[in-house]
C-alpha cells in the first residue's frame, strides 16, 4: 500500500490527530512532555552553574528573548522543550518554530541572502546545512561547558555546530500486541508471515533519515529485500506521527524505522529495540548559533543548557555526551552497531542520496 489517506479511516481521524498533529516526529506530545519536563533542571550542579547564571543575566539584559527554528513534522513538537527552558530560566521569552528541516534551511538561506534573519538558533536534521553555513561564515563558533564531552562525531572541530542529543529511527512495535521476544529486530524479521499486513513505516522517499535507514538495510540484504518487504503489504505513511498512530491503535504492530522513547510512556504501547545484527541509523540532533543572531547570549544559554548533565541524563534517547548514562537502562550508543557519523556522511553526498531516493521510489511508489 502506498502513501494513503486510508490510514485515516482505519485508525480514525481523531486518533491520527491525537498522535500525529500533537506529536513529535513519530512520538505523541505526551511522550515529549513527560520526557522533556523531567529533563528540566531546577538548578545546574558543578562548575557550569555560575557560568549559566551569568549567561542568564546576559540574556535578560539583551532583551530576554530567544528564537529557535527546529526541524520536525508538528508545530507543537518543541512545546515541552520550550516549557522546560522557560521554567529553568524565567523571564526568557523563547519562541520555537517547527517546520520540516529542508523547509527551515531554505528559509534561512533566503534570509541570509536578503537580510532580516529571524532565528538565533537552528536545530535541524539536515546535517549538511551546517557544513554549508560554516563555509559561508554564517555560524558563530561556541564551545559551551561540556561541549568537549560530546562525541567528536557529533560536533564540529571548531564548535560551529554541535549535537545536543542522539536520535535513532529504529525498530518500534506495539508492546501490548507483541512480547519483547516477538518484536522484530533485524530487517529479515519483518519478512516473516507473522508481519504481513502488520508493518507501517514513514515514506522513506520524503524523509532523509528514513531513507538512510533503508540504505543501511539494502547495504546488507541487497535490493531484493525491498521486493520482499513490499510483498508484506506495509503501510507507507506520510510521516512518523501517522506511523505511531497506526501502531498505537493496533492497526499495525511494528515499524522498521520509527522514533520512540527509551522509557515507555504510560498509556502509549510503544517499544523501541535495537537490531541483533543489523547496522541501524542514528544521528545527532544538531544545533548552531548564527553570527547574525539578535539574541546571542540567549542562544548560548540554550546550547549550554542542552549540554548540561542534568538535561542530557533524562533525554529522549541517547545523550550526545559520552560521559552521561543513557536513560532506560540502555548502553552508551558506542556499544551498538550504529555508525555515529554515517548519517552525516550519507547526507553530504547529495548525488548518491538522490540516486538512492529515486531507486527506492520505484518500490514504494511504482
CATH numbers and ranges of domains, the chain: 6-27+169-281+346-364 (3.40.190.10), 39-167+284-335 (3.40.190.10)
For the packed helices 127-135 and 101-114, what is the interaxial angle rounded to 10 degrees? 10
- Residue 182: partners with Cβ closer than 8 Å, 6 or more residues away: 194
- Residue 150: partners with Cβ closer than 8 Å, 6 or more residues away: 162, 163, 307, 320, 321, 322
Residue 87 pLDDT: 97
pLDDT tens digits for 231-283? Answer: 999 999 998 889 999 999 999 999 999 999 999 888 889 999 999 999 999 99
Residue 5 pLDDT: 34
For residue 292, the Cα-to-chain-centroid distance in whole angstroms is: 26
Q: How far apart are CA 72 and CA 104, in angstroms?
A: 10
Q: Does the structure show a pLDDT above 80 at 40?
A: no
Closest CA to 290 of 273, 302, 281, 277: 302
Q: What is the pTM of this model?
A: 0.86
- Residue 222: partners with Cβ closer than 8 Å, 6 or more residues away: none
Residue 264 pLDDT: 87
Give the pLDDT band of residue 74 (cuts 50, 70, 90).
confident
The answer to whether residues 327 and 337 touch, using CB atoms and an 8 Å cutoff, is no
Closest CA to 39 of 310, 253, 250: 310
Largest interatomic CA distance in the chain: 63
Taking phi over 0 as left and psi of -120 to 50 as alpha, with beta for the rest, 234 belongs to beta
Q: How far apart are CA 215 and CA 204, in angstroms?
A: 10
Residue 48 pLDDT: 78
Cβ neighbourhood burial of 11 (10 Å; 0-12, 13-18, 19+): buried
Q: Does the structure show a pLDDT above 70 at 37?
A: no
pLDDT tens digits for 128-164? Answer: 999 999 999 999 999 999 999 999 999 999 999 999 9
Q: Enter the C-alpha cell of residue 225.
A: 529485500
Q: How far apart are CA 301 and CA 271, in angstroms?
A: 33
Compute the average pLDDT of residues 118-122: 98
Q: Does the structure show a pLDDT above 80 at 22?
A: no
Residue 265 pLDDT: 86
Residue 366 pLDDT: 66
Distances (CA, A) of 144 to 205, 289, 315: 36, 12, 18
Q: Does the structure show a pLDDT above 90 at 179?
A: yes
Residue 47 pLDDT: 52
Higher pLDDT, 74 or 350: 350
Closest CA to 76 of 120, 122, 30: 30
Q: Does the structure show a pLDDT above 60 at 49?
A: yes
Residue 32 pLDDT: 33
The answer to whether residues 68 and 94 touch, using CB atoms and an 8 Å cutoff, is yes
Type and span of the H or E element at 170: strand 170-174
Residue 24 pLDDT: 34
Number of C-beta neighbours around residue 62 at 10 A: 14
Amino acid at each position: 500500500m502506498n502513501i494513503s489517506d486510508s490510514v485515516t479511516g482505519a485508525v480514525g481521524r481523531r486518533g491520527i490527530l491525537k498522535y500525529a498533529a500533537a506529536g513529535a516526529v513519530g512520538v505523541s506530545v505526551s511522550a515529549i512532555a513527560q520526557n522533556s519536563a523531567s529533563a528540566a533542571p531546577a538548578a545546574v550542579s558543578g562548575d557550569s552553574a555560575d557560568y549559566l547564571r551569568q549567561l542568564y543575566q546576559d540574556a535578560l539584559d539583551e532583551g530576554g528573548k530567544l528564537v529557535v527554528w527546529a526541524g520536525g513534522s508538528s508545530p507543537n513538537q518543541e512545546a515541552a522543550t520550550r516549557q522546560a527552558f522557560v521554567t529553568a530560566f524565567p523571564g526568557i521569552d523563547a519562541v520555537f518554530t517547527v517546520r520540516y528541516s529542508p523547509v527551515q534551511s531554505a528559509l534561512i538561506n533566503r534570509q541570509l541572502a536578503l537580510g532580516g534573519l529571524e532565528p538565533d538558533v537552528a536545530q535541524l536534521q539536515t546535517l549538511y546545512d551546517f557544513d554549508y553555513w560554516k563555509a559561508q561564515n554564517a555560524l558563530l563558533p561556541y564551545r559551551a561547558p561540556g561541549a568537549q564531552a560530546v562525541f567528536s562525531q557529533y560536533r564540529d572541530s571548531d564548535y560551529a555546530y554541535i549535537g545536543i542529543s542522539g536520535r535513532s529511527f529504529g525498530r518500534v512495535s506495539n508492546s501490548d500486541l507483541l512480547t519483547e521476544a516477538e518484536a522484530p529486530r533485524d530487517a529479515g524479521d519483518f519478512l516473516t508471515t507473522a508481519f504481513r499486513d502488520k508493518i507501517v513505516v514513514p515514506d522513506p522517499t520524503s524523509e532523509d533519515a528514513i531513507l538512510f535507514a533503508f540504505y543501511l538495510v539494502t547495504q546488507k540484504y541487497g535490493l531484493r529485500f525491498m521486493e520482499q518487504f513490499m510483498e508484506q503489504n506495509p503501510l507507507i505513511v506520510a510521516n512518523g506521527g501517522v506511523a505511531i498512530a497506526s501502531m498505537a491503535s493496533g492497526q499495525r504492530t511494528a515499524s522498521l524505522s520509527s522514533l520512540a522513547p527509551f522509557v515507555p510512556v504510560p498509556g502509549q504501547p510503544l517499544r523501541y529495540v535495537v537490531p541483533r545484527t543489523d547496522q541501524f541509523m542514528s544521528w545527532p540532533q544538531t544545533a548552531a548559533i548564527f553570527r547574525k543572531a539578535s539574541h546571542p547570549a540567549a542562544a548560548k544559554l540554550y546550547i549550554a543548557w542542552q549540554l548540561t548533565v542534568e538535561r542530557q541524563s533524562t533525554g529522549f534517547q541517547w545523550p550526545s555526551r559520552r560521559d552521561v548514562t543513557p536513560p532506560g537502562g540502555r548502553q552508551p550508543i558506542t556499544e551498538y552497531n550504529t555508525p555515529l557519523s554515517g548519517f552525516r556522511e550519507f547526507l553530504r553526498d547529495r548525488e548518491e542520496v538522490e540516486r538512492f531516493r529515486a531507486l527506492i521510489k520505484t518500490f514504494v511508489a511504482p
